[in-house]
Structure 1
Amino acid sequence: MAVDADVTVPPAAWRDRRKPLWPLALLVPALPFLGFAVWRAGGGAWAWWLTPAIVFGLIPVIDVLLGDDRQNPPDEAVPRLSADGYYRWLTYLYLPAQYAALVLCCAVWARDELTVASAAGLVATVGVVNGIAINTAHELGHKRERVERWLSKVALAPAGYGHFYVEHNRGHHVRVATPEDPASSRLGESFWAFWPRTVWGSLRSAWRLETGRFRIRGRSPWTHRNDVLNAWVMTLTLYAALTLAFGPVALPFLVLQAVVGFSLLEVVNYLEHYGLARQRTAAGRYEKVDPRHSWNSDRTVTNVFLFQLQRHSDHHANPLRRYQTLRSFDTSPQLPAGYATMIVVALVPPLWRRMMDHRVLAHYGGDRTRANVRPAARR
């Protein structure tokens, strides 16, 4: 059941009270320019750590202060919201800002004036921007409009994770909250054990899905129409252009920031479905995906910064819904904090398990057998 804090407001009069806040999502790709300005002003190495400090330090604090927003749009307002180009252009605008930040940081790296601490901060800064860009790619890649699907691959190119476009839509959404899904983490599985399983598993799954699409039609997968290959070509073209512009020294920087970027995506995957499982029906199939199979958070600030990714249950139930129309459900299990906080917690396995394992068990009434459990722990 969805929750609506404004049930007394007539649908025709309903307005999105967060509409002025959505442009804040564009603050993230602007942060490297702030770091650059502070660094040029003599701020030292710490200037390049401003972006991760704001994203994983300041935003969680503001999240706690502002609390939750469980406002849902009435069904009658959804067509109007979906058709409003204002929301769509905000996702488009992330991309030029993302690429501008990447070029700026490549230029700084190529000057070879960085200390080890500055270099690490620069990698972390760009990795965070391109990692969060994968969320923008996620929003665009689910849409029917061809231009948005194409822009999704453009947003994925800096992180070298173009195969996500195939695997997420046709793999993860089909197998979510099952042992067969490499992007659904298991009860008792640490993020560090999950990382290689999901990175390799998602890559292999994307290739199988896309090559299978061609072979079932009797065609070769080695074509520009292959969405895994053309996405990878975008990355290779981008990296080649930046290497030509800034020299071979740019290449290790691009690789390092890409690892940070796609690791940020995978830690989000880790927390979105941790331990949650779809049960088998009498026919032996998995039950339909519903709000019980995703962890959610209604924290106001992180929902604005992440285009409401934290309303993940409605997204899985209705993948084509645009971010401004996603709803909160009573039946969805709730994270104790927003994603920015939970990402940091997930990197510390004992803290994560202390915070989350009992919540998984409570969700299943204490019955561990109903959860998606790590095989070793199940044995």
Structure 2
Amino acid sequence: MKDLKYLFAYTIPMVTAISIYAKGVFTFTTPIYAFIVIPVLELIIKERHDDFSEEELSSRKLDRFFDFLLYLNIPFVFVLLFIGLNKLSVETYTLSEYIGLVLSLGILLATNAINVAHELGHRKDLFERSLGKLLLLPCLYMHFYLEHNFGHHTYVATPEDPATSKKNQSVYHFWFSSVVGQYINAWNVQLRLLKNNKHSFISIHNDMIWYHFFQLTYLLVVAYFFGLTGLYFAIGVGVLSFIFLETINYIEHYGLERKKQANGRYERVKPHHSWNSNHLIGRIVLYELTRHSDHHFIASKKYQILENKSESPQLPYGYPTSILISLVPPLWFGLMNKRLPKA
């Protein structure tokens, strides 16, 4: 019964539905829920450091219930996105209502699309990886699959990783450097894979070309059925979703570094190279993404068996609160710099 807690992740689609169907201030229901209600709950509810026995790990790893919880996000995301686009094309919204709707759908895509895509993208099963890429489509960030799996997980906490934020780097500078750097890295990964497998650039094996084709087709379809208003909205929520993703990247590895060894290689990725969070609501809503130290230590571990690593540095607040604090760089630096491991 305790595993039914992950149903709480669907509260984001639920409040997004309210944002879509309501008008006025209620279009802001999702950001209010994500960045006011959840942070307050995380201050009230104690952190949970629970781990599992070997027997529990074995049974949870094979339990398909946890997989179906992920799959169910696909209809939620695409149905709500369609309804939002449709209502925008037939109803009149004030500027503030439009902003509320963009924020709400952007948060939905960040949590229930990109985040779930991230989990599925680490799976060995081709079908699950394909579902992950499908969820990245409306986020306009399909190249994330290549860069994250073949770039970020290799170079995390090193200067070679654009998705690792440096000490005293503001989140605003990081947005630009990470988005641009990861896009370039994705192409580098793709070119390397093509070369290693002896495929030409113009090839059905060039996933980057496919990603651009699918995303352009998606936007053209939106423009055809929902007009320029729908197109601008689709672009807006997509961009906002990956800005949220990059803000999460920012807080997950801020200021942490892997040491370079005498042989010129970096030390192996260890739990202390990622910030961890055991705040319960964030753990549930983000499918244990907040147990990021264990995820980077063994990237193939499914979300339901990720554990707390005592040696990992701990975020003082949950993800939503940390995101808000990061938007004020002096506050973030004052909070986090003193927590960075001593060199």
Q: CA deviation at 1:220?
A: 1.4
Per the alignment, residue 110 of structure 1 pairs with 89
Per the alignment, residue 7 of structure 2 pairs with 23
Structure 1 Cα separation of the partners of residues 29 and 287 of structure 2: 22
Structure 2 Cα separation of the partners of residues 237 and 180 of structure 1: 33
Structure 2 Cα separation of the partners of residues 38 and 217 of structure 1: 52
Structure 1 window deviating more from structure 2 (125-134 vs 270-279): it is 125-134
Q: CA deviation at 1:112?
A: 4.8
Q: Secondary structure at the match of 2:75?
A: helix
1:248-275 residue CA offsets vs partner (Å, 9 max, x unmatched): 3211111111111100000000000000
Residues matched between the structures, number: 342
CA root-mean-square deviation: 1.3
Paired residue type of 1:151: L
Structure 2 residues without counterparts, runs of 5 or longer: none
Paired residue type of 2:174: F
Structure 1 Cα separation of the partners of residues 203 and 108 of structure 2: 31
Q: CA deviation at 1:76?
A: 2.6
5 Å-filtered alignment, 1:1-379, equals 18-39=2-23, 44=24, 46-132=25-111, 133-360=113-340, 363-364=341-342, 370=343
Contact 1:154 1:234 in 2 (8 A): no
Paired residue type of 1:226: N
1:206-249 residue CA offsets vs partner (Å, 9 max, x unmatched): 01101221123332133333232323333223222222221232
Contact 2:277 2:318 in 1 (8 A): yes
Q: Secondary structure at the match of 1:103?
A: helix
Q: CA deviation at 1:37?
A: 3.5
Structure 2 Cα separation of the partners of residues 226 and 120 of structure 1: 36
Per the alignment, residue 8 of structure 1 pairs with none
Paired residue type of 1:54: Y
Q: CA deviation at 1:88?
A: 0.3
Structure 1 Cα separation of the partners of residues 175 and 205 of structure 2: 29
Paired residue type of 1:22: Y
Q: Secondary structure at the match of 2:278?
A: coil
Could you tell me the TM-score, scaled by structure 1's length? 0.88
Could you tell me the TM-score, scaled by structure 2's length? 0.97
Structure 1 Cα separation of the partners of residues 53 and 217 of structure 2: 44
Contact 2:117 2:132 in 1 (8 A): yes
Structure 1 residues without counterparts, runs of 5 or longer: 1-16, 365-369, 371-379
Per the alignment, residue 10 of structure 1 pairs with none
Q: Secondary structure at the match of 1:248?
A: helix
Contact 1:182 1:201 in 2 (8 A): yes
